[in-house]
């Protein structure tokens, strides 16, 4: 019995050591969007594609646009407590809200939004 428990613990330890961190960036929005709302999505997607092309291909980083007007989005919106437009970086139980920065910089300084996304995502990939 002790041996089985030891093997199980060892297996869990090894699995957690080599587990691939997965980062998901969600942009919650409505069907009707202003120019800034559209820019938040576009600039976030471009930033992720340019910074993490390898990680996107490997499935480690993913951008997900979620239309809050669609019925099937309700569960996801509830899970992340998204009650309106929101730009969220998530990994496991970690959640960072970049909504304010997205709306502040997407149109005027997209390079700053890109840097903020990088600052949020990089530590989650380690």
Q: Give me the mean pLDDT over the 43-69 stretch.
A: 97
Q: Answer yes or no: is pLDDT of 9 > 50.
A: no
Q: Give me the mean pLDDT over the 14-21 stretch.
A: 49
Alpha-carbon distance of 67 to 94, in angstroms, equals: 22
Cβ atoms of residues 89 and 95 within 8 Å: yes
Alpha-carbon distance of 3 to 23, in angstroms, equals: 35
Whole-number pLDDT of residue 53: 97
Name the pLDDT band for 126 (thresholds 50, 70, 90): confident
Whole-number pLDDT of residue 55: 97
Cβ atoms of residues 29 and 83 within 8 Å: no
Q: Which domains does the chain have, with CATH numbers?
A: 21-125 (3.40.30.10)
Structure tokens at 58: 């490997």
Name the pLDDT band for 20 (thresholds 50, 70, 90): low
The CA-based diameter of the chain, rounded to the nearest angstrom, is 63
* Count of positions (residues) in the chain: 126
């Amino acid at each position: 019995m002790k041996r089985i428990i030891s093997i199980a613990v060892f297996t869990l330890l090894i699995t957690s050591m080599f587990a691939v961190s997965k980062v998901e960036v969600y942009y919650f929005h409505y069907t009707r969007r202003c120019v800034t709302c559209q820019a938040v999505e576009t600039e976030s997607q471009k930033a992720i594609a340019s910074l993490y092309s390898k990680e996107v291909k490997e499935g480690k980083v993913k951008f997900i646009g979620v239309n809050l007007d669609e019925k099937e989005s309700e569960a996801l919106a509830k899970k992340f407590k998204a009650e309106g437009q929101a730009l969220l970086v998530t990994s496991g139980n970690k959640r960072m809200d970049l909504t304010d920065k997205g709306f502040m910089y997407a149109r005027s300084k997209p390079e700053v939004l890109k840097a903020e996304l990088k600052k949020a995502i990089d530590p989650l990939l380690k």
